[in-house]
Amino acid sequence: MPNNENLTVTTDTVIVGAGFAGLGMGIKLKRSGFDDFVIIERESDLGGAWRDNTYPGVACDVPSHVYSYSFRTNPHWSRVRAPGSEILEYLRTCAREEGLLSYLRFDAPMDRATWDQDSGRWIVETPSVTYSARFLVTACGHLADEKLPDLPGVDSFAGEYFHSARWNHEVSLEGKRIALIGSGASAIQLLPELAKVGSEVVVFQRSPAYIMPSPNPVYSEADQRLFERSPDTLRALRTETFWTAEANFAARRGVPKYLEAGRKIPLGHLDRSVSDPELKAKLTPDYELGCKRLLGSDLYYPALQQDHVTLEASALARIDGSRVISAAGNSFEVDVVVFATGFEAAEPVFANVVYGRDGLQLAESWSQGMTAYASNTTHGFPNLFIMNGPNTSSGHNSAIYILEAQMDYILGAVTFAEEEGAHVLEVTSEAEAEYVADVRQRSEGTVWLDGGCRNWYVDRRTGALTLIWPDFMHAFRELNATFEPDAYSIDTPVAAPSVSVG
């Protein structure tokens, strides 16, 4: 229950998180005339993953013109794939120009959210304010909580260590011996930068990645003026970029001819970039294309082949003083360890503090893997909408497209509730089960389940594909962008609790 010493504030909607999802939801609500909301953010600034990830070389691996809101296009991206600082500034501009700054509450983590049956409202506790809200929208992101491996001896390490998403800018890497743990999306951006300053760099690779060539052309001033003066040109570029990426799903579906064609590009890139047979063998995946995230870099392979860089094709097993030791038994003396080891995505941390009907914890409800109707709402948790939740990650296109479909769905639900005088919307267990069964059927035969790899899209407890959307992106929008009240039990208004308004 809320801390009685705290100020209690009533509002229609609490949005949790000020990244792409939360800010976009706020913009959609405000533009539609629903301005009784707050966006609570646990950190002291907005931006989500683009605020947190400040490591050297951080950039988006999705083209900028589709990795941005369709309702807030940006004609001034500097490159086809923008650096992280530019994406953060884009989000700041969106918040400022859309008038969201007064709705943001920083340093306000959601300590607990409890469904109050008597009032039919969410009681959302933060350290200084408790909110009583009709609707709760979690917009916490897949990449919000970093994952550090549980390693023997890590506390004995004599040097500095940190996760790539919590970069320690106070640690100088100049001339240091550096261990980079991981070979995924962050690691391949980091390595070329670490190789510039480190005296020695060793990369611990649990499994190799398929890496595409990734030229990143600059948009000239003339390009940017054209996009600004001709919105149709910009829309046409977005459309072309989206549908080009959308065609890649056929390979993820496991269609043999598309898999074969898809493999040729990254394997050809590897063959042209690496001449040493032993190194090439270490860098060749033994699983199907797309089973793990397909990466892009023109700089990773050249960095690996520098004399002071070593690829250890084995996972980090333990640490002993200043030595990092691989599962293969190889030992390296290092000064700094950088963990590029991913995030807690399949078991989101926020689910531990959300309690629905009869005190049911969302994490407990998801103990066999995340599920939600329309990838958005869960039985037992009325008036809760989950962005970046079950089956909302993208394996072949821009995740912003899915987020916008979710925004439209939630806006539809809020509009319905307002127009129909509905106070409580709760998806039925039957509707949720039917949707989940459909998603499981779509998952069958995809490379994420049958591609021969271990990936973060699959729930380790059940083997179900709970994170990624297993179909074309446009199919997600067709299925999940429109609120359908028939899937819900709907209660009429009840008296709101007596609270002090601040």
Report the interhelical angle of 20-31 vs 84-97 (nearest 10°): 20
Cβ-contact 158, 169 below 8 angstroms: no
Note the pLDDT of residue 344: 86
**pLDDT for res 366:** 97
DSSP-derived 3-state class of residue 257: helix
Give Dmax over CA atoms of the chain in angstroms: 73
Instruction: Provide the pLDDT for residue 2.
Output: 44
- What's the confidence (pLDDT) of residue 17? 98
pLDDT at 498: 40
**Rounded Cα–Cα distance for residues 330 and 165 (Å):** 27
Element (DSSP H or E) covering residue 342: none
Placement of tokens 């970029």 in the chain: 241
Q: What is the pLDDT along the chain (502 residues), one digit of tens a residue?
A: 444 457 999 999 999 999 999 999 999 999 999 999 999 999 999 999 999 999 999 999 999 999 999 999 999 999 999 999 999 999 999 999 999 999 999 999 999 999 999 999 999 999 999 999 999 999 998 888 898 888 999 988 989 999 999 999 999 999 999 999 999 999 999 999 999 999 999 999 999 999 999 999 999 999 999 999 999 999 999 999 999 999 999 999 999 999 999 999 999 999 999 999 999 999 999 999 999 999 999 999 999 999 999 999 999 999 999 999 999 999 999 999 999 999 888 899 999 999 999 999 999 999 999 999 999 999 999 999 999 999 999 989 999 999 999 999 999 999 999 999 999 999 999 999 999 999 999 999 999 999 999 998 999 999 999 999 999 999 999 999 999 999 999 987 554 444 433 3
Nearest C-alpha neighbor of 407 from the set 181, 71, 42: 71
Please write down the long-range contacts of 25-29, taking CB distance under 8 Å and 24 or more positions apart. Answer: 25/137, 25/139, 25/387, 25/407, 25/410, 26/98, 26/100, 26/103, 27/69, 27/71, 27/72, 27/94, 27/98, 27/100, 28/71, 28/407, 28/408, 28/410, 28/411, 29/411, 29/414
Exposed/middle/buried for 492, CB within 10 Å: 0-12, 13-18, 19+? exposed
CA distance 124 to 1: 9
The pLDDT of residue 5 is 59
List for the chain the helix, strand, coil content (%; round to 5). 35, 20, 45
Q: How far apart are CA 258 and CA 241, in angstroms?
A: 19
Reading phi first (left if > 0) and then psi (alpha if -120 to 50, else beta), residue 131 is in: beta
**How many residues can be counted in the chain?**
502
pLDDT at 232: 96
For the chain, domains (ranges, CATH) are: 7-145+344-427+476-491 (3.50.50.60)
- Phi and psi at residue 11, to the nearest 5°: -155, 160
How high is the pLDDT of residue 493? 54
**Do 393 and 399 form a contact (C-beta atoms < 8 A)?**
yes
Contact 103, 26 (CB under 8 A): yes
Q: What pLDDT is attached to residue 101?
A: 98
Tokens of 103: 């709705």
From first CA to last CA, the distance across the chain in angstroms is: 19
Rg for the chain, CA atoms, rounded: 23
Closest CA to 107 of 43, 49, 46, 48: 43
Cα 218 from Cα 424, distance rounded (Å): 50
